[in-house]
């Protein structure tokens, strides 16, 4: 019987597992998807082979691609972009690691305090989380992004609209900056050689394939691959905890094993988590019990499992309050080279406290075509749509067709994309629930994801319009000869707060320790536990920092360990002890 079971091995689960394994606890991690043990062979980097939601290697589904993907039910056109497997959705991610806006935490009294979703703040202060941010930043590690032509073009636009340059990790005014990202900076021949091979090449090789899974540089030990998706960072650490932590004990990882139920029993006046039942890829069912259960299945699957396990939902907030940054996509077409498809995919950003942010998003051709033709406003030039989005100063609004489409796609390296990251409100109406009107999949009732896209709160809609206007102006100032607003339908790349922690027991599922208010011994350690949309900041760094804080709380309060984050130095995932253990154990 393990001390702790962690459900899900994506962005948050391995952080919890690594921290607890470092404290010598017996940790079992159960992941529903495959493990890409040989990333150079497993990641072909061909766009359809990787990203096809039905049978791509990065999809939501079981390990065997011959078996069907797991469906989601959506209320309107849209797509939930997540990945099953060791690394979870960080296999896709761009590694951007901004800290959340200070205004989304309790105790913030800056001049812009009223601009945020003040009804749904984090139940602790930014300063309380700072040491955990620093710990995760050192562990991944987070570095200033290596940049190229597309970032230079983005910065030119930022300067052109009068934004100042920010050189800090914290944001106090509207400004632009290089991303802080978890992609190792290029060294040696990386980015220069045609076939960059370790150790001559180290860090990011500028291959441009962040989206398809990072396996570069060729020949590098797994923990020294450039992108710090958790398969390359926290997972090697959790599996080698005895090598880098005194008294550490490697976690056990089971893959292609889907947890179908969290068990709980009534003890005295409380409901207490006791264990889980999972089904492996061959259909075998197994129950495992533990003192603590950590749910880290992501913002869709965590509420789904909680609800299908029929755990207490007294305030009705299980699955509610889902936030997604109400994303939008604006692109400009240039005469000159923008380097859109090259390098780390998104290395520059602009922040607008209280409104959200903008970042460049470099894409290879198929994803580029998808991103500019996926619209909630219909086809450019078509009849009016019900979307509240305006042109915001762009030349077109909607799905680009005809001459504009041909011209743009004739050379992806003359496009610059800007992703709009809205600081969106927590709203009761936006939620994950169990779909009763569709057939179940192999794991029971499928998740229904409802985002009332066109009727978001006034503040959310205002923020998105404001940011779209800034993005259009930025692209014009950068020299774009035409600018197009796509007005994405819900394209859920950033998904959060569906099992949120909060200041009020009436509107949150967890307390400030990620501890379920309804089930003792059940903790949440993925994006779903986030209290809100973070002010528009990409979520993973904050999820990982909150998970670290929760791990320390579990170890100290349940297993008698001493706190360690403020009293010891973090070990980096690229530390020689990790590398040696990874090589010796063939991980
Ligand atoms: C294209 C793209 C780019 C992105 N770029 C960035 C970025 O630059 N910066 C950033 O911060 N974020 C980025 N994100 C978002 C980032 O990937 C997520 O924030 C992060 O992966 C969320 O972590 P998670 O643990 O909540 O969920 P996930 O990473 O989705 O992990 C959940 C895991 O749990 C498993 N699981 C679920 N249910 C069960 C079950 N019942 N039993 C067993 N296993 C289960 C799943 O298979 C999955 O592996 C990006 C996302 C996309 C799609």
For residue 76, what pLDDT is reported?
86
Burial class (CB in 10 A: 0-12, 13-18, 19+), 272: middle
Pick from 385, 370, 451: which is nearest to 417 by CA? Answer: 370
For residue 24, what pLDDT is reported?
98
For residue 222, what pLDDT is reported?
98
Give the C-alpha separation, 312 to 323, whole Å: 22
Give the C-alpha separation, 229 to 581, whole Å: 19
Pick from 80, 89, 196, 146: which is nearest to 362 by CA? Answer: 146
pLDDT, tens digit (0-9, with 9 covering 90-100), for 496-530: 999 999 999 999 999 999 999 999 999 999 999 99
**Considering only CA atoms, which residue is closest to atom 22 of ligand 1?**
11
Beta carbon of 6 within 6 Å of any ligand 1 atom: no
Q: How far is ligand 1, taken at its centre, from the CA of residue 37, in Å? A: 18
**Considering only CA atoms, which residue is closest to atom 3 of ligand 1?**
93
Pick from 262, 326, 272, 323: which is nearest to 296 by CA? Answer: 262
Q: Report domain extents, the chain.
A: 4-250+321-584
Beta carbon of 229 within 6 Å of any ligand 1 atom: no
Beta carbon of 85 within 6 Å of any ligand 1 atom: yes
For residue 383, what pLDDT is reported?
78
Beta carbon of 82 within 6 Å of any ligand 1 atom: yes
Most informative mutation of 7, 8, 140, 231 for ligand 1 (most atoms within 8 A of CB) = 8
pLDDT, tens digit (0-9, with 9 covering 90-100), for 252-306: 999 999 999 999 999 999 999 999 999 998 999 999 999 999 999 999 999 999 9
For residue 187, what pLDDT is reported?
97
pLDDT beneath 50, residues of the chain: none
Beta carbon of 361 within 6 Å of any ligand 1 atom: no
Most informative mutation of 10, 183, 233 for ligand 1 (most atoms within 8 A of CB) = 10
For residue 358, what pLDDT is reported?
98
pLDDT, tens digit (0-9, with 9 covering 90-100), for 88-114: 999 999 999 999 999 999 999 999 999
Give the C-alpha separation, 471 to 154, whole Å: 10
For residue 75, what pLDDT is reported?
86
For residue 90, what pLDDT is reported?
98
Say whether pTM exceeds 0.75: yes
**Considering only CA atoms, which residue is closest to atom 41 of ligand 1?**
259
Structure tokens at 561: 């360990």
**Considering only CA atoms, which residue is closest to atom 20 of ligand 1?**
11
Give the C-alpha separation, 501 to 512, whole Å: 6
Pairing label, strands 27-30, 482-485: unpaired
Percent of the chain, pLDDT > 70? Answer: 100
Beta carbon of 253 within 6 Å of any ligand 1 atom: no
Beta carbon of 212 within 6 Å of any ligand 1 atom: no
For residue 7, what pLDDT is reported?
99
User: CA–CA distance from 187 to each of 69, 246, 575 (Å)?
Assistant: 39, 31, 17
Structure tokens at 1: 């019987």
Q: How far is ligand 1, taken at its centre, from the CA of residue 83, in Å? A: 6
Q: Which atom of ligand 1 is nearest to the CA of 538?
A: 11
For residue 384, what pLDDT is reported?
77
Q: Which atom of ligand 1 is nearest to the CA of 179?
A: 8
Structure tokens at 43: 């990641």
Beta carbon of 30 within 6 Å of any ligand 1 atom: yes
Q: Could you tell me which residues come within 8 angstroms of residue 130 by beta carbon, excluding any fewer than 6 positions away?
A: none
Q: How far is ligand 1, taken at its centre, from the CA of residue 525, in Å? A: 11
Most informative mutation of 62, 261, 298 for ligand 1 (most atoms within 8 A of CB) = 298
pLDDT, tens digit (0-9, with 9 covering 90-100), for 158-169: 999 999 999 998
Phi and psi of 417, rounded to 5°? Answer: -100, 145
pLDDT, tens digit (0-9, with 9 covering 90-100), for 123-153: 999 999 999 999 999 999 999 999 999 999 9
Q: Which atom of ligand 1 is nearest to the CA of 541?
A: 11
Phi and psi of 120, rounded to 5°? Answer: -135, 50
Give the C-alpha separation, 447 to 156, whole Å: 43
Beta carbon of 91 within 6 Å of any ligand 1 atom: no
Q: How far is ligand 1, taken at its centre, from the CA of residue 262, in Å? A: 20
Structure tokens at 176: 């632009």
């Amino acid at each position: 019987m393990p001390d702790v079971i962690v459900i899900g091995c994506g962005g948050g689960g391995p952080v919890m597992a690594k921290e607890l394994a470092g404290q010598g606890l017996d940790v079992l991690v159960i992941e529903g998807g495959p493990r890409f043990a040989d990333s150079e062979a497993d990641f072909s980097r061909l766009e359809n082979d990787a990203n096809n939601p039905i049978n791509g290697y990065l999809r939501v589904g079981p390990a065997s691609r011959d078996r069907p993907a797991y469906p989601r039910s959506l209320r309107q056109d849209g797509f939930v972009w997540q990945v099953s497997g060791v690394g979870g959705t960080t296999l896709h991610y761009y590694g951007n690691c901004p800290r959340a806006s200070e205004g989304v935490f309790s105790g913030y009294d800056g001049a812009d305090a009223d601009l945020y979703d003040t009804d749904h703040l984090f139940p602790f202060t930014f300063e309380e989380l700072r040491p955990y941010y620093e710990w995760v930043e050192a562990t991944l590690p987070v570095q200033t992004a290596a940049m190229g032509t597309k970032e230079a073009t983005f910065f030119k636009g930022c300067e052109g609209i009068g934004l100042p340059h920010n050189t800090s990790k914290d944001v106090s005014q509207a400004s632009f900056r290089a991303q802080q990202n978890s992609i190792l900076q290029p060294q040696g021949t990386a980015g220069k050689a045609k076939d960059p091979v370790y150790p001559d090449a180290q860090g990011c090789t500028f291959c441009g394939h962040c989206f398809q899974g990072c396996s570069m540089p060729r020949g590098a030990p797994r923990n020294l691959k450039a992108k710090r998706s958790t398969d390359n960072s926290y997972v090697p650490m959790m599996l080698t905890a005895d090598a880098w932590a005194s008294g550490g004990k490697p976690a056990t990882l089971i893959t292609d094993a889907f947890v179908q139920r969290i068990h709980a029993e009534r003890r005295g006046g409380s409901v207490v988590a006791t264990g889980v039942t999972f089904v492996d890829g061959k259909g075998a069912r197994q129950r495992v019990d533990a003192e603590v259960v950590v749910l880290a299945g992501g913002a869709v699957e965590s509420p789904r499992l909680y609800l299908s396990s029929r755990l207490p939902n007294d305030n009705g907030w299980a699955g509610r309050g889902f936030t997604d940054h109400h994303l939008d996509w604006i692109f400009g077409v240039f005469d000159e080279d923008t380097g859109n498809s090259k390098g780390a995919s998104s290395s520059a950003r602009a922040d607008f406290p209280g409104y959200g942010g903008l970042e460049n998003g470099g894409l290879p051709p198929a994803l580029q075509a998808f991103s500019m033709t996926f619209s909630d406003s219909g086809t450019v030039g078509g009849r009016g749509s019900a979307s509240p989005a305006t042109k915001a100063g762009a030349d077109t609004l909607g799905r680009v067709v005809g001459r504009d489409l041909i011209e743009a796609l004739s050379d992806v390296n003359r496009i610059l994309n800007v992703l709009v990251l809205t600081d969106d409100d927590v709203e009761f109406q936006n939620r994950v629930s169990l779909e009763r009107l569709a057939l179940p999949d192999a794991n029971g009732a499928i998740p229904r994801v409802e985002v009332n896209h066109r009727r978001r709160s006034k503040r959310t809609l205002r923020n998105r319009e404001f940011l779209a206007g800034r993005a259009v102006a930025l692209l014009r100032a950068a020299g774009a000869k035409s600018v197009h607003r796509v007005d994405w339908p819900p394209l859920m790349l950033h998904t959060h707060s569906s099992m949120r922690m909060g200041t009020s027991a009436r509107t949150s599922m967890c307390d400030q320790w990620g501890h379920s208010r309804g089930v003792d011994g059940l903790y949440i350690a993925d994006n779903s536990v986030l209290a809100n949309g973070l002010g528009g900041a990409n979520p993973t760094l904050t999820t990982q920092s909150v998970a670290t804080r929760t791990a320390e709380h579990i170890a100290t309060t349940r297993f008698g360990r001493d706190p360690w984050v403020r009293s010891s130095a973090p070990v980096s995932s690229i530390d020689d002890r990790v590398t040696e253990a990874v090589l010796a154990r063939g991980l």
